[in-house]
Amino acid sequence: MGEYMENDLDLLFFGLSHRTRRHMMRHLARSGETKVTELAKSYRLSLNTVSKHIKILERARLVRRRVLGREHHIGLDPARLREIERWLSYYRRFWSVRLENLASLFEEKRNENRHG
């Protein structure tokens, strides 16, 4: 993996590493685009703290901000979520094949023990 890709993944996983940010992602997935002030009301945190979490999610490109006058709206970035799915699917396939091979090996050994 190139250094850019690794740094990009570092930002991504750092963005997801905090429970509050994961909860915000879940909230946005359920409710769609939301005003930052409305999102902040869902937490027992200051608006400043919520804004810092949002900025981390923005750097990770997990959310997008849209400014309408004085209101800031935040929503999930579907393109980034598709990137995550592609990355995860590689490892899902990787482990599925290996686990299937391991299961086959155990089945062969079990059959050998029954017949021999």
**What pLDDT score was predicted for residue 8?**
82
Any alpha helices (H) in 1-116, and if so which ranges?
3-16, 19-31, 36-41, 47-59, 78-115
Same domain membership, residue 72 and residue 40? yes
Cβ atoms within 10 Å of 3's Cβ, excluding its own? 7
Same domain membership, residue 94 and residue 66? no
**What pLDDT score was predicted for residue 5?**
56
Total domain count for the chain?
Answer: 2
Mark the ranges of the chain whose per-residue pLDDT is less than 70: 1-6, 116
Quote the CA–CA distance of 21 and 27 in Å, as a whole number: 10
| 77 secondary structure, DSSP code | -
> Which tens digit of pLDDT belongs to each residue from 61-84?
999 999 999 999 999 998 888 888
Quote the CA–CA distance of 99 and 108 in Å, as a whole number: 14
Residue span of the structural domain in which 53 resides: 1-76
**pTM, full prediction:** 0.73
